[in-house]
Structure 1
Amino acid sequence: MSDPETPFRLVVNADVAGQRTDRALADAIGTVSRSRVKALIESGHLTRNDETRTEPSDILREGMVLLLTFPTPTPARPEAENLPLNILYEDRDLIVLDKQAGLVTHPAPGNETGTLVNALLGHCKEGFEGIGGEKRPGIVHRLDKDTSGLMVVAKTSLAHNALSEAFAARDIDRAYLALAWGLLPASGEFDGSIGRDKKDRKRMAVVAGGGKVALTRFRTLESIHASVSLIECRLATGRTHQIRVHLAHAGHPLIGDPVYLRRIPAAARGLPQDAKEAALDFPRQALHAARLGFVHPRTGETLSFETPPPEDFKALKSRLIG
């Protein structure tokens, strides 16, 4: 392992000879992605036998001496803001937080300020070691704006790379609580591939071809008036809007979903009037990331976190029960 802020020196031995330069360096460093190494080489940050080299695909020979330098991280472009965060755990490498519903993760057109990234920059100030050449938080997974719950954010390149790989390998324990319309079986799974909706590019959909494989497992925790199900969902994959799309496709959209709930569901007829009004007036998808577990990228310790749903979710459930 190497601190990605300091130059990295590699003397090519027989085991490394014959490899591409970018691959050999990325493997030797261990905490920096190959794409990042490639970008650094192309930007002139590599010398080979004291001569600058800019071709990542150069084949190495035994005895060569490589020196890869890392530019000083530049300030992140989003502005730091003093916004409230519910942080459950923090150390040198990462932050685990309980994101409130309504908080956008990344600045984007229409949401340039007031995002989770702005809040993290305000909280950590100079606490980020530099990810991709910037002092910024490493967002390794996202929650939709109106989904509440647990997120982990990287503060170092080591954590960013390791957590990204863990999410890609599905080596993360994640569970969500959801209130869905209709009566679902005790347990089951949805395995439809997900891609862009051809009729509405702002929506995702279960598609017959061209989508990405997606698998959601669920179990029913409680049935309310045989019209609403409180379920726990576990993701085997992490596609955009996955839980929302799978449940809507199965005829059990989430209560309050502004994108995938297009009409009053038939199941609403089974609710008492007050419960029906509460469900139909709920202003967001009733979805909460309740559990998150992973292996700490530096210590190897297994970390596990659980958080209850927020007050609006609990109040909705209480009114549904009556």
Structure 2
Amino acid sequence: MTNSFFYSEDLPPVRLDKALAQHLGLGVRRCRALIEAGQVLVDDRPCAKGVLIRPGQHVLLTMSEDAATDCRDVRLVTSNESFAALFKPGGLHTVAGRGASCLESCMPGLGLDGWELLNRLDHLTSGLVLAACDQESASAYKSRQDAGQVRKWYLALARGVVQGLDSRERILDDKRRIVRVTTEEDEPLRWTRARAVCQVGDDTLLLVRILKGRRHQIRAHLAYAGHALIGDPVYGAGEPGGLYLHHWRLEMPGFTASLLPDWPCVDHELVENVASDFDSD
């Protein structure tokens, strides 16, 4: 698949990554990954992402069909003047890897060109991802999160019978593929709290709440407690059918969004009842 354009004579010089994003409707991170992979030529020559593109220059993008972004299942759930909640299906990256499809690349098609993603979900995790319209809104979100005013609710299908658990162990979320759970207690903002919604055969559908997550936090904490998530290929057995972890609801002052997964074991009324009684114990 190829796409190309001549940079307009009416526009001032701009960085290559930004020119590519503006003209092709891709996210800036995705454009940088494509440039670094050598899939972008300027006047038939590869260039760095920060090179200034000047009027009249020809920009050519080449990528395989399987690297093109698939936005069919991505959608805007709700929005206001500052924030938007997007649905990311499982199996789609949040931001670009090298040539990989991602949620960020779908944003221009949803009318969110130039918006900034505020959280990420693992590649296999489905559910809500939040975006901010500008840096001021992004800073406001960070301040609310640091103050414990952002609550993120997940649904998770865990191995075995679980009534509830509170995981306080610190996670070392460095660049390794598998994070390590330590015996050291983390700050309260990083705790994982889970309560049973219902039994699903020998397993348990859980409602999980976190405030300020670390990478793989829910997956690692549940596995550390002996209840790995169904379908988790890293911390569990990797059963077929995908990872059963879904970001259901996000709540913060002035903005709330929610979207249930289409799992057959999920009953809306049960989930809401558990959420309303979550702090009663």
- What TM-score, normalized to structure 1? 0.57
Q: Deviations over 1:121-177 (max 9, x none)?
A: 3333xx65xxxxxxx331211111111111210121221111122223331121110
Alignment partner of 1:233 is 2:208: yes
Q: Deviations over 1:271-294 (max 9, x none)?
A: xxxxxxxxx322x22001111112
In the aligned structure 2, how far is the partner of 1:201 from the partner of 1:121? 32
In the aligned structure 2, how far is the partner of 1:306 from the partner of 1:91? 14
Partner of residue 194, structure 1:
171
Alignment partner of 1:217 is 2:209: no
Is the 2:76–2:110 contact (alpha carbons within 8 Å) kept by the matching residues of 1?
no
Partner of residue 287, structure 1:
245
Which amino acid in structure 1 is aligned with residue 217 of structure 2?
Answer: Q
Classify the secondary structure of the residue corresponding to 2:236.
coil
Alignment partner of 1:163 is 2:141: yes
Which amino acid in structure 1 is aligned with residue 260 of structure 2?
Answer: P
Is the 1:195–1:212 contact (alpha carbons within 8 Å) kept by the matching residues of 2?
no
Partner of residue 92, structure 2:
103
Is the 1:223–1:229 contact (alpha carbons within 8 Å) kept by the matching residues of 2?
yes
Give the drift of 1:260. Answer: 0.6
Which amino acid in structure 1 is aligned with residue 259 of structure 2?
Answer: T
Q: Taking every aligned residue pair, what percent have the same amino acid on both sides?
A: 28
Q: Deviations over 1:220-263 (max 9, x none)?
A: 011233x2000100003311010000000011000000111148
Partner of residue 54, structure 2:
none
Which amino acid in structure 2 is aligned with residue 253 of structure 1?
Answer: A
Which amino acid in structure 2 is aligned with residue 188 of structure 1?
Answer: L
Which amino acid in structure 2 is aligned with residue 290 of structure 1?
Answer: W
Q: Deviations over 1:166-222 (max 9, x none)?
A: 22333112111010000112x33111110158xx92111202469887310111011
In the aligned structure 2, how far is the partner of 1:145 from the partner of 1:292? 19
Classify the secondary structure of the residue corresponding to 2:120.
coil
Is the 2:153–2:209 contact (alpha carbons within 8 Å) kept by the matching residues of 1?
yes
**1:210/1:90 CA distance change after superposition, 3 Å:** closer
Partner of residue 142, structure 1:
120
CA RMSD for the aligned pairs?
3.0
- Listed as ranges, the matches of 1:1-322 within 5 Å are 75=18, 80-81=25-26, 83-84=71-72, 85-111=74-100, 114-124=101-111, 128=113, 136-185=114-163, 187-196=164-173, 201-208=176-183, 214-225=190-201, 227-262=202-237, 280-282=239-241, 284-295=242-253, 302-310=254-262, 313-314=263-264
Is the 2:157–2:206 contact (alpha carbons within 8 Å) kept by the matching residues of 1?
yes
Is the 2:168–2:186 contact (alpha carbons within 8 Å) kept by the matching residues of 1?
no
Classify the secondary structure of the residue corresponding to 2:176.
strand
Which amino acid in structure 2 is aligned with residue 219 of structure 1?
Answer: R
Which amino acid in structure 2 is aligned with residue 120 of structure 1?
Answer: M
Classify the secondary structure of the residue corresponding to 2:221.
helix
Query: Which has more radius of gyration?
Result: 1
In the aligned structure 2, how far is the partner of 1:224 from the partner of 1:145? 24
In the aligned structure 1, how far is the partner of 2:149 from the partner of 2:19? 29
In the aligned structure 2, how far is the partner of 1:221 from the partner of 1:304? 21
In the aligned structure 2, how far is the partner of 1:205 from the partner of 1:168? 23
Is the 1:181–1:253 contact (alpha carbons within 8 Å) kept by the matching residues of 2?
yes
In the aligned structure 2, how far is the partner of 1:307 from the partner of 1:252? 24
